């Protein structure tokens, strides 16, 4: 199968070939195995898990356990990876599969901050590895052992292990020289992905945030509408996903059309619609509901068949709260009364703030806390970052392979990660490059772009090199110092800086790797990001102007030494008080000649 030939050289192309095979022979176990392996190799961990489990159902065995565990690691769940490994009967696996499990287990322990345990796991495996075992297995175990030792600060021992490693097996086949261009690239992965073609061609739908992504308040965002329209022409449909529960879908579409997005109400998923759907799953049809919110929330609740009431005295089964800029003390108190009497409590979202032109205004979450504080009841929440809103938005437009797009890490990106949906972050809203580089696990996007034009572009995958550095596309070389400072081409980034988009991607990969190992984010200055062809994005070492000027002064002083007057009669060879020493030297000169 061509996918198998490509998987190491071009995982994305291998994935596409495997998908083509699945469409023709999806009930053949080896085809689904290829789909699992290529999904894993291309960073589609959620999909890899589904395919692995499909293979296991077909074969009724423990196939691909290491891939399953490592995919959980890729999704940020090292604890689940450990559970999978511990539940595996290793005696049913061949030696190579057992080694793969050991490698993943050691890595998962390191992810959990247990590098010492990870070291013991690899040491134990090396101790029982048969002498006749494939040297490549021994080499890989030793390589991971060196990584654990390095993480534990035992650099000298790590160097000894690397020195003692068996040499890689020479491949005597004729290979294209181009394959050696990344000879020092290892297999360390990043949450940041690459794509072989434009994202609009790889995903069937863009789940688009509104404020900060599609528009900025009442202002257009450059390239946003035009990029979305062009993505549609490439086959990527659009859905607009918002935590704003005040507007109805028709009102949202009207505003979008005023900015040339060519949208309709059927493309809009609001947090009001999301929480109303959750309520429909939990409450009886026709139940009475007290609504604290605007027209968008009231319409969504009514469309789910609930009966709206205006007072706690009407015994509502539930209270649902969405942002309402006109809400007052009386309305909040009425909701609290109903909850105290047993009504269930729901909230369209828990956003603490709402960005406005003057700054960060109170969001729905801040108002929800007033009722929570009074009633001691926490609401069931919808909207982002809950995963359900993304899944419902995908179902709304019939998407099966969606991409989320947003500007806020703790809502847009976190919700997509929770839903298992890849996300592209844009720098047109709240969170900027520095925030992304310092993002914790669970809030890291799969793709990074300056703006919505990122939908129309292919994205290079970051590459980790054996010297601990990262590159991406045409980036400069990124790394993090032991103290957590970022560097590009050995220039430490300590002051506000402008970098290229590919260097930004490489820095993000390096920063996330460091944060996972150190348990804290890197130190990062404010950062602007420009296109790769913008020369202002090249970071260069600062000129040591002050030091050079001091050096020039010294050279200038020594250059005038020849202009000083020669000692004359009025200029004593010895300083005053040294005449006696001159006389003594003159008297002993003959003695020196005799000794010579």
CATH assignment of the domain containing 25: 1.25.40.10
Give residue 29's pLDDT: 78
In a domain, 69, yes or no: yes
Torsion of CA 120, 126, 128, 134, to 10 degrees: 150
DSSP state of 523: B
109 and 232 together in one domain: no
Q: Respond yes or no: is residue 209 known to be catalytic.
A: yes
Same domain? For 100 and 124 the reply is yes
pLDDT, position 180: 45
For residue 547, what pLDDT is reported?
46
Q: Which residue has the tokens 């969606």?
A: 402
For residue 211, give the CATH number of its domain: 3.40.50.1000
* Contact (Cβ atoms closer than 8 angstroms) between residue 289 and residue 316: yes
The answer for residues whose C-beta is within 8 angstroms of residue 9's C-beta and 6 or more apart is 179
The total number of structural domains that make up the chain: 5
| Rounded CA separation 438/447 (Å) | 15
SS3 label, residue 6: helix
**Both 435 and 310 in a single domain?**
no
Residue 443, number of CB atoms within 10 A of its CB: 25
Give the Cα separation of 118 and 367 in Å (integer): 46
Can you name the residues that pair with 449 across neighbouring β-strands?
426
pTM of the model: 0.64
> What is the tens place of the pLDDT at every residue in 337-358?
999 999 999 999 998 888 777 8
Are residue 294 and residue 145 in the same domain, yes or no? no
DSSP letter at 17 equals H
DSSP-based three-state secondary structure for 441: coil
211 a catalytic residue: yes
Q: Examine the domain organization and report whether 414 and 437 are in the same domain.
A: yes
For residue 518, what are the contacts with CB-CB under 8 A and spacing of at least 6?
484
Residue 356: the pLDDT is 75
Tell me which residue has tokens 């550095």.
Answer: 469
Taking the C-alpha atoms of residue 17 and residue 24, their distance in angstroms, rounded to an integer, is 11
Same domain, 18 and 91: yes
* Residue of 211, 274, 351, 502 marked active site: 211
Q: Answer positive or negative: Cα dihedral of 471, 474, 477, 483.
A: negative
Residue 445 to residue 43: CA distance in whole angstroms: 12
Distance, in Å, from the CA atom of 492 to the CA atom of 499, rounded to the nearest integer, reads 13
Taking the C-alpha atoms of residue 247 and residue 323, their distance in angstroms, rounded to an integer, is 10
Question: Beta partners for 184?
Answer: none
pLDDT at 586: 58
Q: How many whole angstroms separate alpha carbon 592 and alpha carbon 577?
A: 24
Q: How far is CA 467 from CA 191, 282, 291, 445, 483, in A?
A: 20, 54, 58, 25, 17
Structural domain includes residue 278? no
Last residue within a domain, chosen from 336, 362, 381: 381
Q: What is the pLDDT of residue 560?
A: 43
Q: What are phi and psi of 499, to 5 degrees?
A: -130, 165
Instruction: Decide if 511 contacts 480 (C-beta within 8 A).
Output: yes
Helices (H), 42-134: 45-59, 65-74, 78-86, 95-111, 115-128
Show the tokens assigned to 277: 């759907």
pLDDT at 24: 54
**208 and 107 assigned to the same domain:** no
HSE-up of residue 513 (Cα within 13 Å, Cβ side): 27
Q: How many residues does the chain have?
A: 596
The confidence score (pLDDT) of residue 541 equals: 83
**Are 192 and 160 contacting, i.e. CB atoms less than 8 angstroms apart?**
no
β-bridge pairing 219-220 and 215-216: antiparallel
Alpha-carbon distances, residue 257 vs 252, 295, 488 (angstroms): 9, 20, 42
Q: Is 178 part of any domain? A: no
Whether 138 is covered by a domain: the verdict is yes
Assign 3-class secondary structure to 127-185: HHCCCCCCHHHHHHHHHHHHHHHHHCCCHHHHHHHHHHCCCCCCCCCCCCHHHHHHCCE
Residues 14 and 87 in one domain: yes
Residue 280 lies in a domain: no
162-214 pLDDT, tens digit each: 999 888 765 545 444 344 446 678 888 999 999 999 999 999 999 999 999 99
Distance CA 310, CA 289 (A): 9
Indicate the average pLDDT of the chain.
Answer: 87
Domain assignment of residue 325, yes or no: yes
Assigned domain for 254 exists = no
pLDDT of residue 9: 64
* Domain edge (last residue) among 167, 191, 214: 167
Query: Does residue 156 share a domain with residue 10?
Result: yes
Question: Which residue is catalytic, options 70, 111, 209, 274?
Answer: 209
Q: Are 209 and 407 in contact (CB under 8 A)?
A: yes
* Same domain assignment for residues 139 and 102: yes
- Dmax (CA) of the chain: 126
Same domain, 135 and 42: yes
pLDDT in tens, the chain (596 residues): 444 445 566 778 778 777 766 665 566 778 888 888 889 888 899 999 988 888 887 787 778 889 999 999 999 999 999 999 888 888 888 898 899 999 999 999 999 999 999 999 999 999 999 988 888 899 999 999 999 999 999 999 999 999 998 887 655 454 443 444 466 788 889 999 999 999 999 999 999 999 999 999 899 999 999 999 999 999 999 999 999 999 999 999 999 999 999 999 999 999 999 999 999 999 999 999 999 999 999 999 999 999 999 999 999 999 999 999 999 999 999 999 999 999 999 999 998 888 777 888 899 999 999 999 999 999 999 999 999 999 999 999 999 999 999 999 999 999 999 999 999 999 999 999 999 999 999 999 999 999 999 999 999 999 999 889 999 998 999 999 999 999 999 999 999 999 999 999 999 999 999 999 999 999 999 999 999 999 999 998 876 544 444 444 433 433 444 444 444 444 444 444 445 545 555 555 554 454 44
Judge whether 553 lies within some domain.
yes
Residues 533 and 550 in one domain: no
Residues spanned by the domain of 238: 199-243+387-455
pLDDT for the residue numbered 589: 54
């Amino acid at each position: 199968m061509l996918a198998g030939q490509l998987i190491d050289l071009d995982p994305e192309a291998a994935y596409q070939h495997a998908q083509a095979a699945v469409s023709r022979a999806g009930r053949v176990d080896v085809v689904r195995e290829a789909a699992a392996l290529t999904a894993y190799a291309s960073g589609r961990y959620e999909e890899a898990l589904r395919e692995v489990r499909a293979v296991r159902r077909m074969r009724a065995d423990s196939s691909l356990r290491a891939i399953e565990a490592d995919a959980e690691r890729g999704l940020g769940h090292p604890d689940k990876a450990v559970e999978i490994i511990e539940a595996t009967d290793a005696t049913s696996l061949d030696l190579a599969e057992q080694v793969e499990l050991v490698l993943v287990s050691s890595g998962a322990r390191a992810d959990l901050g247990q590098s010492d345990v990870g070291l013991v796991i690899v040491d134990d495996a090396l101790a029982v590895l048969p002498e006749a075992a494939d040297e490549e297995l021994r080499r890989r175990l030793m390589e991971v052992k060196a990584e654990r030792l390095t993480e534990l600060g035992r650099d000298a021992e790590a160097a000894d292990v690397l020195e003692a490693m068996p040499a890689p097996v020479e491949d005597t086949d004729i290979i294209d020289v181009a394959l050696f261009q990344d000879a020092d690239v290892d297999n360390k992965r990043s949450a940041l992905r690459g794509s072989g073609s434009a994202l609009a061609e790889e995903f069937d739908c863009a789940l688009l945030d509104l404020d900060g992504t599609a528009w900025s308040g009442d202002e257009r965002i450059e390239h946003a509408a035009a990029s979305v329209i062009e993505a549609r022409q490439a086959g990527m449909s659009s859905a607009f996903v918002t935590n704003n529960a005040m507007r109805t879908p028709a009102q949202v579409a009207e505003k979008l059309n005023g900015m040339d997005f060519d949208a309709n109400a059927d493309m809009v998923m609001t947090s009001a619609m999301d929480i109303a759907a959750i309520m429909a799953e939990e409450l009886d049809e026709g139940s009475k509901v007290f609504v604290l919110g605007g027209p968008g929330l009231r319409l969504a609740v009514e469309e789910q068949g609930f009966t709206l009431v205006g007072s706690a005295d009407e015994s509502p089964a539930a209270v649902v709260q969405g942002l309402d800029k006109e809400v007052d003390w009386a309305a909040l108190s009425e909701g609290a009364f109903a909850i105290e009497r047993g009504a269930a409590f729901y909230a369209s979202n828990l956003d603490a703030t709402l960005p406005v032109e003057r700054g960060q205004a109170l969001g729905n979450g801040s108002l929800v806390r007033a009722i929570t504080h009074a009633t001691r009841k926490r609401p069931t929440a919808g909207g982002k970052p809950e995963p359900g809103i993304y899944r419902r938005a995908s179902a709304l437009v019939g998407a099966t392979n969606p991409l989320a797009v947003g500007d806020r890490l703790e809502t847009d990106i976190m919700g997509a990660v929770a839903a298992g949906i890849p996300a592209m972050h844009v720098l047109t809203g709240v969170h900027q490059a520095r925030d992304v580089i310092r993002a914790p696990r669970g809030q890291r996007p799969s793709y990074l772009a300056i703006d919505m034009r990122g939908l129309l572009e292919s994205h290079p995958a970051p590459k980790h090199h054996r010297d601990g550095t990262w590159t991406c596309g045409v980036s400069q070389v990124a790394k993090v110092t032991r103290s957590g400072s970022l560097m590009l081409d050995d220039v430490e980034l300590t002051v506000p800086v402008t970098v290229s988009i590919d260097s930004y991607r490489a820095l993000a990969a390096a920063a996330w790797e460091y944060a996972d190992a150190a348990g804290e984010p890197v130190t990062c200055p404010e950062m602007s990001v420009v296109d790769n062809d913008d020369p202002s994005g090249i970071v260069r070492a600062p000129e040591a102007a002050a030091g050079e000027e001091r050096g020039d002064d010294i050279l200038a002083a020594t250059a005038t030494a020849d202009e000083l007057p020669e000692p004359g009669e009025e200029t004593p060879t010895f300083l005053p008080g040294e005449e006696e020493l001159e006389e003594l030297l003159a008297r002993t000169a003959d003695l020196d000649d005799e000794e010579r």
